Amino acid sequence: MADKLVFLSVGDDSGDLHAANLMRAMRELDPAVRFIGFGMDRMTEAGLEPLGPDWERESSMWLRNILRVGRFRRRLAVCRQYLNRQSPDLVVPVDFGGFNLCLCKVAAARHIPVFYYIPPQVWAHGRYRLKKLRKWVTRAGLIYPFEENLYARCGVEAAYLGHPLFDELDRNPPAQRTVAELRRRFGEGLIGVFPGSRRQEVIAHLPVIVESCRHIRHVLPDVSFAVLGGPNVSDVLSGILARSSEQLEVLENVRPTELARASKLCLTKSGTITLEVASQGTPMVIFYRASPLVAFLAYGLSETPYIGLVNILAGRVICPERATSGDCGGWIAEQALRLLQDADAYEGCRQAIRRTLSGFAQPGASARAARSALSLV
């Protein structure tokens, strides 16, 4: 029997991780399946036959994508040529809405089934994309339970599969030795800081965090702060902290869940990182700071009133959050001190996080996605 040929496309490190886990799950169901397309290191390790070089690690931010339209068009042309020549059994875009929606259109025009795993977050903004998904996608694999009704109402075939983050946490849980070492090194008053994994995020967030840390330390002098960024932002982190009198230590070779588990409280930008922190049951203060235009486009037009995924899942604010285009260091410090100094507020936040993730934070998403995808071949 001929191999099944699956074409994959991702645009950032998280997509690479989830696509690699999906590939392994598909191979467990059908060892004859072959994978080709555009991926990164983890997908290559999982058996991807690369059609071209990696995307740059910061390519998923929409503003940077606008500046790289020429490069994306060239990449899409390569995809079009390959699909014309080879016609794989299935196209599987993973996340990365801007480019991968165009890929869906190309595949649909050639009558190739499309399984869009982790489609654009239309519930947050860009609901107009549902019309495109309905036309170009055979089935969408959803990772949040509240997405399913929205897709059904708009006539898009979709299935809620669970969040693949918890597959990865099941495979690679926080190392207890690392957690214990962090607690020994920083003490029980450790505050974990997550300014973002992209340079523009660190530039926007870290100065505000430094200001908030100054306020917090003035009230609670025994606390300590540890910062975790991505591998491509160490120079930006060091440069900003070098100009500050506050003591924030930058960590290397530590995973977000390990720092979250070791911390009493976390200060974090919005995004999937809030789920990683929540998975460890650690209360957090969530924020996002951007230019007025970006803040308006990202949150002013949002169809949900919340920016933190843990709050969106809960349907209410269980961890304090704020999206702003201005300075919010004082507000971050105020919210952090409230949680640190009010035992009832702290425990209430911690219990609310646990209740929210109960039933949601379960592994198995990759296996369910693999079954759903292969059923289309």
Has residue 169 been placed in a domain?
A: no
Q: Report which DSSP code applies to 158.
A: E
Has residue 317 been placed in a domain?
A: yes
Is the same domain home to 21 and 76?
yes
| CA distances from residue 180 to 186, 261, 316 in whole angstroms, order as listed | 10, 9, 33
- The rounded distance, in Å, linking the Cα atoms of 251 and 262 is 13
Is the same domain home to 306 and 320?
yes
Is the same domain home to 151 and 23?
yes
User: What pLDDT score does 299 carry?
Assistant: 52
- Is residue 125 packed enough to be buried (19+ CB in 10 Å), middle (13-18) or exposed (0-12)? middle
Contact (Cβ atoms closer than 8 angstroms) between residue 58 and residue 64 = yes
Has residue 118 been placed in a domain?
A: yes
What's this model's pTM, rounded to 2 decimal places?
0.90
> Which token pair is 52?
């071209």
Nearest of 86, 48, 33, 105 to residue 373 by alpha carbon? 33
- The rounded distance, in Å, linking the Cα atoms of 268 and 206 is 10
> Which of the residues in the chain have pLDDT under 70?
1-2, 53-68, 291-303
Is the same domain home to 285 and 188?
yes
Has residue 98 been placed in a domain?
A: yes
User: What pLDDT score does 71 carry?
Assistant: 81
Is the same domain home to 13 and 90?
yes
User: What pLDDT score does 245 carry?
Assistant: 85
Is the same domain home to 32 and 56?
yes
Is the same domain home to 110 and 236?
no
Dump pLDDT digits (tens) for 35-58: 999 999 999 999 999 997 665 444
Q: How many CB atoms lie within 10 A of CB 287?
A: 26
Is the same domain home to 244 and 321?
yes
Domain range spanning residue 324? 174-357
Contact (Cβ atoms closer than 8 angstroms) between residue 210 and residue 176 = no
User: What pLDDT score does 3 carry?
Assistant: 84
Q: Which residue has the tokens 């507020």?
A: 345
Is the same domain home to 141 and 257?
no
User: What pLDDT score does 230 carry?
Assistant: 76
User: What pLDDT score does 231 carry?
Assistant: 76
Query: How many distinct structural domains can be found in the chain?
Result: 2
DSSP result, 196-261 = ESSHHHHHHHHHHHHHHHHHHHHH-TT-EEEEEE-TT-HHHHHHHHHT-SS-EEEP-S--HHHHHH
Has residue 280 been placed in a domain?
A: yes
User: What pLDDT score does 286 carry?
Assistant: 98
CATH of the domain at 179: 3.40.50.2000
Has residue 219 been placed in a domain?
A: yes
Contact (Cβ atoms closer than 8 angstroms) between residue 194 and residue 263 = no
Is the same domain home to 107 and 255?
no
Dump pLDDT digits (tens) for 315-366: 999 999 999 888 899 999 999 999 999 999 999 999 999 999 999 999 999 9
Is the same domain home to 99 and 200?
no
Has residue 167 been placed in a domain?
A: no
Has residue 168 been placed in a domain?
A: no
Is the same domain home to 54 and 108?
yes
